[in-house]
Structure 1
Amino acid sequence: MKKGTSPALEVIVATHKMYVMPDDSLYQPLLVGSDFFLDQQKGVTLPKNLILDNTGAHISSKNHNYSELTGLYWLWQNTVKKDTNPDSFYGLVHYRRFLSIKDKKSPLTKTELQNLLNLKYEIILPKKRNYYIENLYSHYAHTLHIGPLDRTRAIIKKKYPDFLPEFDRLKTRRSAHMFNIFIFKKPLFEEYCEFLFGILFALESSLTKEELTRYDGFHARFFGRISELLLDVFLYTKFPDLDKRSDVLELQVLELEPVNWIEKISNFLLAKFFGKKYKKSC
């Protein structure tokens, strides 16, 4: 729907299954991988407020590799590009992970977001995840398959050389804004999507069919995982003073499902010291 002159505040909630969504007008539930879901769940009745990512300009069929990014692409192409107001804000969260203000146990609301924006924040991010005994690159290499990430570096070196120094800092940085969760003002949102999908589509084009299909369902989602690292590559290149800027706000991540920390830590140690790649999210 084409936006009018009033600025929009819209955050899509990417989900691959039926799930209880926040009852707040800030959020737009979006079914990612809609083609696969509808094929597997024939005859299912969908909630009226659920948008499908296989409408309009879309990459829904890439969901097995791109995860929630098929939803981000849909939002960019079908909503953000049609909005003529540069003061609008758009964002991405997940059905089980939301942003929340300090000490709250519920997702950020539209009223809360509007109050934050009135304070002149333009970039809202999750609090950084810290990897105390690993840098970002080594953590990726220990837990996932490193080949696609190394190929990404070659693409950045060729097509986006200004971003290469920050990409190489993956080997020294020990924290990052993860999960593909953020809320940006419209111009920055569009710039980031141009950067992100420019790289990921180039990466996909550089891979053979065998390279794209060699991994199991968990590891096949490497485009989504690489994008988690590219967010800070983009932001710190544009804003070297990101951590000190007054228009940037970090909020806590609200997990709506229990986190199995024992399993998570165990899997991390097995990956780091015994070469056991992750098999699932936990």
Structure 2
Amino acid sequence: MKKTKILIAAHKKFPMPKSIGYMPVLVGAKQNYKADIPYQRDDEGENISNKNPNYNELTAVYWAWKNLRDVDAVGLVHYRRLFFERRPYKLDNVITVKKINKILDNYDLILPKKRNYYIESNYSHYVHAHHKEPLDKTREIIVKNYPKYLGAYDKVMKRSKAHMFNMFIMKKDAFESYCSFVFGVLEKLEQKIDISNYSVQEARVYGYVSELLMDVWLETNNYKYAEIAWGQLGGKNNVKKAISLVKRKMGIKTKTHFN
């Protein structure tokens, strides 16, 4: 029987799935802690909790990488964005660990269905919404320190589809490989860019960049993956997203995620 833990990144108290195997994690725990929040804190053991304003949900991933022991698979979802077995999107319908383990019998990892930007490449979508420098510096880091990833990086940037949102469920060996690559790149990126004048939203840069690193890592290492449906509690803000897309095409930087 595989032991699978699915982290649920949250910065506040929120209704959580009751299904066995789900672990709510309070990210940015020092700043966000309140006495009535019973979640696992991301500032225990070896951690980067203090970087949560810049790394987003990745502080939960880092905590699991360094501290979660005796597991066969690790996953990450968000307190409102989860993997579901069926509609409607409500907590009773989240995918069970039993179902996940059956999928992992044949695959190395599970990812959300790809997001399609249609008229934009992954690169153009990013630079229309965020500062361009971090993504360009990321490529320089890959050229110098991770050259075997360069071919996949360039391919991913030219595509209009990608596995986004930092959502996944991975067997332990894949999880170790993924974390080593992503946190290695981001640690070096911190030394390359100055974000002191970034807005609060843009300061989340390392979380944003990491989303595009998922497929770079995946394709370089040829892991076998399954895609499953994801959904958002409370629905998706499609109108806001459409307005955001139009603004970006006009050269106005906007939000890319709506929570």
- How far the C-alpha of 1:215 sits from its partner, in A, is 1.0
SS at match of 1:213: coil
- How far the C-alpha of 1:170 sits from its partner, in A, is 3.3
Matched, 1:131 2:117: yes
SS at match of 2:195: helix
Identity rate, percent: 42
- Amino acid of the structure 1 residue aligned with 2:188: A
From 191, 195, 203, the counterpart of 1:212? 195
From 180, 188, 191, the counterpart of 1:194? 180
From 223, 226, 233, the counterpart of 2:206? 223
SS at match of 1:116: helix
SS at match of 2:234: coil
Determine the C-alpha separation between the residues in 2 that align with 1:234 and 1:122. Answer: 13
1:234-245 to structure 2, matched below 5 A, reads 234-239=217-222
Q: Contact conserved, 2:120 with 2:160, CA < 8 A, in 1?
A: yes
Q: Contact conserved, 2:51 with 2:59, CA < 8 A, in 1?
A: yes
Matched, 1:29 2:12: no
- How far the C-alpha of 1:196 sits from its partner, in A, is 0.4
Matched, 1:257 2:234: yes
Q: Contact conserved, 1:122 with 1:248, CA < 8 A, in 2?
A: yes
SS at match of 1:29: strand
1:32-181 to structure 2, matched below 5 A, reads 32-38=27-33, 41=34, 44-47=35-38, 50-79=39-68, 82-83=69-70, 88-101=72-85, 103=87, 105=89, 106-118=93-105, 120-181=106-167
Determine the C-alpha separation between the residues in 2 that align with 1:170 and 1:249. Answer: 18
- How far the C-alpha of 1:104 sits from its partner, in A, is 6.0
**Bigger radius of gyration among the two:** 1
Determine the C-alpha separation between the residues in 2 that align with 1:130 and 1:137. Answer: 13
Structure 1: tracts of 5 or more residues without a match: 1-5
SS at match of 2:228: strand
Determine the C-alpha separation between the residues in 1 that align with 2:256 and 2:181. Answer: 28
Determine the C-alpha separation between the residues in 1 that align with 2:125 and 2:175. Answer: 27
Count the aligned residue pairs.
255
TM, length-normalised to structure 1: 0.86
- How far the C-alpha of 1:99 sits from its partner, in A, is 1.1
Determine the C-alpha separation between the residues in 1 that align with 2:221 and 2:255. Answer: 34
- How far the C-alpha of 1:281 sits from its partner, in A, is 3.1
Corresponding residue for 1:3? none
SS at match of 1:58: coil
Q: Contact conserved, 1:93 with 1:99, CA < 8 A, in 2?
A: yes
After superposition, the CA RMSD in angstroms is 1.6
From 245, 249, 256, the counterpart of 1:268? 245
- Amino acid of the structure 1 residue aligned with 2:150: L
Structure 2: tracts of 5 or more residues without a match: none
SS at match of 2:229: strand
- Amino acid of the structure 1 residue aligned with 2:73: F
Q: Contact conserved, 1:107 with 1:254, CA < 8 A, in 2?
A: no
Any idea what the Cα deviations from partners look like across 1:138-159, whole Å, max 9, x if unmatched?
A: 0001111111111111111100
- Amino acid of the structure 1 residue aligned with 2:201: F
- Amino acid of the structure 1 residue aligned with 2:202: H
TM, length-normalised to structure 2: 0.93
Determine the C-alpha separation between the residues in 1 that align with 2:97 and 2:3. Answer: 11
- How far the C-alpha of 1:251 sits from its partner, in A, is 0.4
